[in-house]
C-alpha cells in the first residue's frame, strides 16, 4: 500500500514521469537541442579553455565564429569546474494564467574584451536562480553587404560603432523577452558576416542579462533595464585579450588586428566616443571586470533584494500547491469543457482503464481505443469549410473539408500515448513535444524541454495529456503556446481524465481554450489525486510502474 | 429546414448530410414498427469523411485511410448497442468506480467482398472476435457461407459498407436466419444506406438493428473497387 500510494501521489500531479527522471539528468538531452527552454551562456568551459594560449592572465575567451551558436547556452561551467545545469522554468504566470512579473533586466556594458561575459556569468552563478537568460549583443550585428564584407576581411570595417548593430531588432527582441514571450534570436556568423538560417529560440526568465559594448547606447533599450552595470577594464589588458580572441577564434592575423585597433579603437576611438559615455548611465561600475568579486557580490545581493521585493521566492517551500487551483468552484461546468458522451463503449473503456486489475495488455489496448474516440471528438471542434465535389457518375454535391492544420503537443510522458491515435486520424499532423515536471520541493511545475514546429501560429494545437488533475502542467503548456503567439482559440486540451478543479482552473484562466476529455472526476484528495482516478497512467501504459502482473508473456 | 431536392435538373446541389425527402417519415415508420435504426450524429468530422468517400477525385490512399476512419466510427457505434452489465472496479488509488462490463457472446459476419474491409475496424475494437463470412454472387446466389457453429446463441454484427437496393443484404440475413439467428440478434452495420435499401430490408426483417453513418441515395458506388483497387 505504501508503494501504491507513492505511485498515486506521483500520478496525481497531472503528468507522469517525474519519479523516473531526475532533474539533473535533463540537460543530457536539452544539451543537444537549440531550443531547450533554458538558456545559459558558455560553450567552452573546461578543456577548450586550456587550448587557448597565450592567455591573458585569468581571462576567459569565447569562441567567436558564431554568436550564441545553437550548441551553447545550456549549461554553465564555473572556473572551479562546477557545472550549473539549467533547471526547468517555474510558473511565470498567476492562477489566472496572466504573466506575473516581467524579468529583472540587467544590462552589462563595457569595452570590447573587458570581461562583460565573465561578469554576466558570475552574476548568474552567484544568483543561483535556475531561470536566467543571457542575451549577447553580438547576435545583433548587421548583415554586411559584399563591399562591407570585403572591408571586414581587410580589417577596415568598424564593428565597434553603433551603425554596425541592428538596434531595432534588438529592441523588439528585448521587449518581447521582457514580456516573457518567446523570441528567435539571430545567430551571427563572423566568417560570412551574415545571420545563420537557424535562429535560436529564447524565453523570458526571472533574470535577463543583456551584455554588449553598446548596451546603453540606444535610449529605448536603456529604458528596459532595471540595473545597468559598466565593466571597466584597463585598455592594455583589453587589447591583449582582443588579440588572443581574434587570432584564435576569428582567424585574423596580428597585423590586421593592430590595424583595426589603431584605426577604429585608438585613433578614431570608438571606445571614447561611444562606449565610455555609457558609463554615465551605469548604476554600478565594475573595475577590473570579472576578477572583481566584491563588486559582483554587491550586484548579486542587490538583485536578490530587488527580486524578493517583487515577490520572487527562491525556495518557495511554503507555497501551497493549491495556489494554482481555484477553491471556489462554480456550480456549473465551464462552457469550454466538452466531456465525451458517456456511451456504453466509452464507459466500458473507461472502466478498463480505471480498473487496477486490468492486465497491462488490456490496459494498453483499451486505452488506445479510448484515445482514438477522444481524438475523433477533438476533430469536431476544428473549423471546416464547404466544398463542392463531384461524385462518380458526375453528380455534384456539397461537402465539408477540414480547414486547419493540426499540431499535436503531447506533454511528456503520458501525453505521448495519444500520438498514435492522432496520427491514425490526421495523417499529416505535426507533433511537437513538451516536458513539464513537478519540482519535488516546491511542487511547482517546471518547464524543461520544448519542441514546436516552425510557424506554430498556423496550426490548431492539441495539447495532449492523459490526466489533468490540478491543470498546472496543461496551464504551463498553454502559457508557453500563448508566448509563441498561438491564439487562445487555436488551443485544445485533450485528456482521458480531468479533475473538476483542474478544468475550472484552466477554463477560468483561458476561456477560449477548448478542453476535451473522456471522463471527469469531481473530487480530489488532500494530496491532489483524483477520486476515483486512474492511477499513474503513464507508468501503467509504459510499464514503468510497480507492476501487479509479472507474468507477461513477452516480458523479458 | 434545409433544402434538399435531389432529383435531376432542379439546379440545387444537395449537401452531404442533408436529410432527403421522405427519410424523416421513413425513420418514423421504422420506429413504429420496432426497428432499431441508428444514424450516426452528423458531426462535421463525419460529414468530412463522407465527403472524401464520395469525392471521385479522392486518391486510393486517402480513400482507404478515411474509409477506415469512418468504418471505425460506425463499428464503435454498433458496439454501443450490444448488451452490458454493471461492474464496479477498484482504481489503482484504491477508490471504487462504478463502471460497466461488455457482455460476451458476439460475433461478426462480413458480407464479401466489401464487408471484409470492415473486419479490420472490428478487430481493432474487439481483438479476438470471431468472424464468419458470406459470399453472394450474381443473381443472389450464395457461393460461400462459413458461420460459427453456435451462431444462433450469439449477437451478430453483419458488416456491409454501402447498401443500395438491399437485395444482397436480405439474402445474407436469410442465410443467418437459416442458421437460426433471431432477428433481434442481428446488427447490420453500414457506412451508407439508401432509403430504398433500408425500406426493403426492414420490410422483411423489422426487428433487426441497423447502424449507418448516413441514409442517402447519393452513396458512393463501387466501394470495394475504390477500397481494394481491383474491379
Which residues pair with residue A459 across a beta bridge?
Answer: A405
- Both A418 and A291 in one domain: the answer is no
Question: Of the residues A279, A309, A339, which one is the last residue of a structural domain?
Answer: A309
User: Which alpha helices (H) appear in A128-234, and where do they start and end?
Assistant: 146-153, 167-178, 219-222
Question: pLDDT tens across B75-109, in order?
Answer: 999 999 999 999 999 999 889 999 999 999 999 99
Predicted local confidence at residue A60, as pLDDT:
41
Q: Kindly report the nearest CA distance between residue A368 and chain B, in angstroms.
A: 10
Least confident of A85-89, A526-530, B227-231: A85-89
Q: Is residue A318 part of a domain?
A: no
- Both A395 and A445 in one domain: the answer is yes
How far apart are alpha carbons B217 and B194 in whole angstroms? 5
pLDDT higher than 60, residue A396: yes
* CB environment A188-200: b (16+ within 10 A), e (fewer): bbbeebbbbeebb
User: Which alpha helices (H) appear in A160-226, and where do they start and end?
Assistant: 167-178, 219-222
How far does CA A229 lie from the centroid of its chain? 26
Phi, psi of A409, deg, nearest 5: -130, 85
Q: Is residue A548 part of a domain?
A: no
pLDDT higher than 90, residue B17: no
Which residues pair with residue A105 across a beta bridge?
Answer: A208
- Both A395 and A479 in one domain: the answer is yes
Predicted local confidence at residue B209, as pLDDT:
95
Hey, are the CB atoms on A11 and B50 less than 8 Å from each other? no
Most B CBs within 10 Å, among A354, A424, A526, to test the B interface: A354
Closest listed residue to residue B156, CA positions, set B208, B115, B101: B208
How far apart are alpha carbons B198 and A12 in whole angstroms? 50
Q: Is residue A197 part of a domain?
A: yes
pLDDT higher than 60, residue A208: yes
- Both A281 and A363 in one domain: the answer is no
- Both A340 and A192 in one domain: the answer is no
Contact predicate A109/A77, CB 8 Å: no
Predicted local confidence at residue A546, as pLDDT:
67
- Both A372 and A288 in one domain: the answer is no
Query: What's this model's pTM, rounded to 2 decimal places?
Result: 0.73
Question: Of the residues A254, A274, A309, which one is the last residue of a structural domain?
Answer: A309
**Average pLDDT, stretch A384-395?**
90
Number of domains in chain A: 2
Sign of the C-alpha dihedral, residues A9, A15, A17, A18? negative
- Both A397 and A475 in one domain: the answer is yes
Phi, psi of A442, deg, nearest 5: -95, -10
- Both A352 and A222 in one domain: the answer is no
Contact of B57 with chain A, judged by CB distance below 8 Å, is answered with yes
Most B CBs within 10 Å, among A7, A346, A386, A391, to test the B interface: A391
User: Measuring CA to CA, how many Å separate A390 from each of A72, A534, B56, B219?
Assistant: 55, 48, 6, 12
Tell me the range of A35-44, A116-125, A258-267 where mean pLDDT is highest. A116-125
Q: How confident is the model at residue A40 (pLDDT cuts 50, 70, 90)?
A: very low
Specify the CATH architecture of the domain B27-80+107-224.
3-Layer(aba) Sandwich (3.40)
Contact of B13 with chain A, judged by CB distance below 8 Å, is answered with yes
**Average pLDDT, stretch A20-49?**
34
- Both A346 and A467 in one domain: the answer is yes
Q: Is residue A112 part of a domain?
A: yes
ipTM of the assembly?
Answer: 0.91
- Both A243 and A349 in one domain: the answer is no
Hey, are the CB atoms on A384 and B221 less than 8 Å from each other? no
pLDDT higher than 60, residue A102: yes
- Both A298 and A418 in one domain: the answer is no
Q: Where are the beta strands (DSSP E) in A242-352?
A: 284-287, 337-339
Least confident of A25-39, A467-481, B140-154: A25-39
Domain locations in chain B? 27-80+107-224
Hey, are the CB atoms on A391 and B56 less than 8 Å from each other? yes
Sign of the C-alpha dihedral, residues B97, B100, B104, B106? negative
- Both A290 and A403 in one domain: the answer is no
Contact predicate A92/A58, CB 8 Å: no
Question: Of the residues A277, A309, A341, which one is the last residue of a structural domain?
Answer: A309
The domain that contains A393 carries what CATH number? 3.40.50.2020
Owning domain of residue A369: 325-542
User: Which alpha helices (H) appear in A284-359, and where do they start and end?
Assistant: 293-309, 344-354
How far apart are alpha carbons A438 and A536 in whole angstroms? 14
Neighbouring CB atoms inside 10 A of A327's CB total 8
Hey, are the CB atoms on A392 and B220 less than 8 Å from each other? yes
Question: pLDDT tens across A121-175, in order?
Answer: 888 888 877 677 788 888 888 888 888 888 877 777 777 788 888 999 999 988 8
Residues of B in contact with A390 (CB under 8 A): 55-57
pLDDT higher than 80, residue A3: no
Closest listed residue to residue A68, CA positions, set A277, A211, A231, A175: A211
Bridging pattern class, strands A405-412 and A396-402: unpaired
Which residue did the predictor score with more confidence, A315 or A429?
A: A429
Amino acid at each position: 500500500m505504501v508503494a501504491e500510494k507513492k505511485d498515486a501521489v506521483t500520478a496525481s500531479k497531472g503528468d507522469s514521469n517525474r519519479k523516473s527522471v531526475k532533474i539533473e539528468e535533463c540537460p543530457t538531452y536539452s544539451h543537444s537541442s537549440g531550443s531547450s527552454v533554458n538558456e545559459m551562456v558558455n560553450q567552452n568551459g573546461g578543456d577548450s579553455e586550456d587550448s587557448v594560449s597565450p592567455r591573458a592572465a585569468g581571462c576567459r575567451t569565447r569562441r567567436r565564429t558564431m554568436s550564441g551558436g545553437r550548441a551553447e547556452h545550456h549549461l554553465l561551467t564555473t572556473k572551479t569546474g562546477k557545472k550549473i545545469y539549467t533547471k526547468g522554468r517555474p510558473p511565470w504566470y498567476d492562477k489566472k494564467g496572466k504573466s506575473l512579473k516581467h524579468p529583472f533586466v540587467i544590462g552589462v556594458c563595457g569595452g570590447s574584451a573587458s570581461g562583460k561575459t565573465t561578469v554576466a556569468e558570475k552574476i548568474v552563478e552567484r544568483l543561483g536562480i535556475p531561470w536566467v537568460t543571457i542575451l549577447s549583443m553580438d547576435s545583433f550585428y548587421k548583415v554586411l553587404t559584399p563591399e562591407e564584407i570585403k572591408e571586414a576581411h581587410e580589417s577596415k570595417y568598424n564593428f565597434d560603432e553603433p551603425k554596425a548593430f541592428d538596434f531595432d531588432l534588438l529592441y523588439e527582441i528585448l521587449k518581447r523577452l521582457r514580456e516573457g514571450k518567446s523570441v528567435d534570436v539571430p545567430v551571427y556568423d563572423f566568417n560570412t558576416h551574415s545571420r545563420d538560417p537557424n535562429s535560436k529560440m529564447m524565453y523570458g526568465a526571472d533574470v535577463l542579462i543583456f551584455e554588449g559594448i553598446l548596451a546603453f547606447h540606444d535610449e529605448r533599450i536603456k529604458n528596459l533595464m532595471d540595473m545597468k552595470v559598466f565593466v571597466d577594464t584597463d585598455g592594455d589588458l583589453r587589447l591583449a585579450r582582443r588579440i588572443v580572441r581574434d587570432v584564435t577564434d576569428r582567424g585574423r592575423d596580428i597585423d590586421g588586428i593592430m590595424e583595426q585597433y589603431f584605426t577604429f579603437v585608438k585613433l578614431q576611438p570608438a571606445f571614447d566616443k561611444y562606449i565610455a559615455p555609457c558609463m554615465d548611465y551605469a548604476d554600478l561600475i565594475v573595475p577590473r571586470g570579472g576578477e572583481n568579486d566584491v563588486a559582483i557580490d554587491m550586484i548579486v545581493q542587490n538583485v536578490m533584494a530587488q527580486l524578493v521585493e517583487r515577490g520572487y521566492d527562491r525556495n518557495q517551500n511554503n507555497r501551497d500547491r493549491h495556489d494554482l487551483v481555484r477553491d471556489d468552484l462554480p456550480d456549473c461546468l465551464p462552457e469550454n469543457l466538452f466531456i465525451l458522451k458517456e456511451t456504453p463503449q466509452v464507459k466500458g473503456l473507461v472502466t478498463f482503464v480505471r480498473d487496477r486489475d486490468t492486465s497491462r495488455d488490456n490496459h494498453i489496448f483499451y486505452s488506445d481505443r479510448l484515445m482514438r474516440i477522444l481524438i475523433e471528438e477533438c476533430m469536431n471542434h476544428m473549423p471546416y469549410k464547404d466544398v463542392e465535389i463531384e461524385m462518380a457518375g458526375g453528380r455534384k454535391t456539397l461537402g465539408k473539408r477540414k480547414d486547419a492544420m493540426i499540431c499535436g503537443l503531447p506533454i511528456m510522458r503520458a501525453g505521448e500515448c495519444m500520438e498514435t491515435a492522432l496520427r491514425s486520424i490526421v495523417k499529416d499532423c505535426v507533433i511537437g513535444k513538451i516536458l513539464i515536471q513537478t519540482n519535488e520541493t516546491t511542487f511547482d511545475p517546471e518547464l524543461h524541454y520544448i519542441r514546436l514546429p516552425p510557424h506554430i501560429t498556423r496550426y490548431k494545437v492539441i495539447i495532449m495529456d492523459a490526466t489533468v488533475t490540478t491543470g498546472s502542467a496543461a496551464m504551463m503548456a498553454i502559457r508557453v503556446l500563448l508566448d509563441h503567439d498561438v491564439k487562445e482559440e487555436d488551443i485544445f486540451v485533450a485528456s482521458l481524465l480531468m479533475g473538476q478543479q483542474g478544468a475550472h482552473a484552466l477554463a477560468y484562466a483561458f476561456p477560449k481554450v477548448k478542453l476535451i476529455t473522456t471522463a471527469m472526476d469531481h473530487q480530489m484528495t488532500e494530496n491532489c489525486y483524483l477520486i476515483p482516478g486512474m492511477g499513474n497512467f503513464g507508468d501503467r501504459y509504459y510499464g514503468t510502474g510497480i507492476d501487479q502482473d509479472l507474468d507477461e508473456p513477452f516480458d523479458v | 429546414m434545409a433544402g434538399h431536392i435531389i432529383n435531376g435538373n432542379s439546379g440545387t446541389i444537395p449537401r452531404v448530410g442533408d436529410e432527403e425527402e421522405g427519410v424523416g417519415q421513413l425513420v418514423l415508420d421504422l420506429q413504429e414498427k420496432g426497428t432499431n435504426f441508428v444514424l450516426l450524429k452528423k458531426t462535421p468530422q463525419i460529414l468530412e469523411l463522407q465527403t472524401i468517400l464520395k469525392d471521385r477525385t479522392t486518391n486510393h490512399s486517402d480513400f482507404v485511410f478515411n474509409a477506415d476512419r469512418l468504418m471505425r466510427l460506425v463499428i464503435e457505434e454498433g458496439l454501443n448497442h450490444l448488451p452490458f452489465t454493471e461492474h464496479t472496479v477498484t482504481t489503482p488509488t484504491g477508490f471504487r468506480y462504478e463502471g460497466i462490463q461488455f457482455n460476451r457472446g458476439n460475433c461478426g459476419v462480413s458480407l464479401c467482398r466489401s464487408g471484409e474491409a470492415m473486419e479490420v475496424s472490428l478487430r481493432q475494437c474487439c481483438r479476438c472476435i470471431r468472424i464468419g463470412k458470406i459470399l453472394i454472387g450474381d443473381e443472389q446466389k450464395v457461393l460461400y457461407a462459413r458461420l460459427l457453429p453456435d451462431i444462433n446463441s450469439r449477437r451478430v454484427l453483419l458488416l456491409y459498407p454501402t447498401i443500395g437496393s438491399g437485395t444482397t443484404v436480405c439474402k445474407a440475413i436469410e442465410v443467418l436466419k437459416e442458421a437460426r439467428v433471431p432477428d433481434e440478434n442481428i446488427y447490420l452495420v453500414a457506412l451508407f444506406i439508401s432509403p430504398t435499401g433500408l425500406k426493403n430490408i426492414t420490410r422483411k426483417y423489422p426487428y433487426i438493428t441497423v447502424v449507418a453513418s448516413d441514409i442517402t441515395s447519393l452513396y458512393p458506388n463501387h466501394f470495394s473497387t475504390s477500397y481494394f483497387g481491383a474491379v
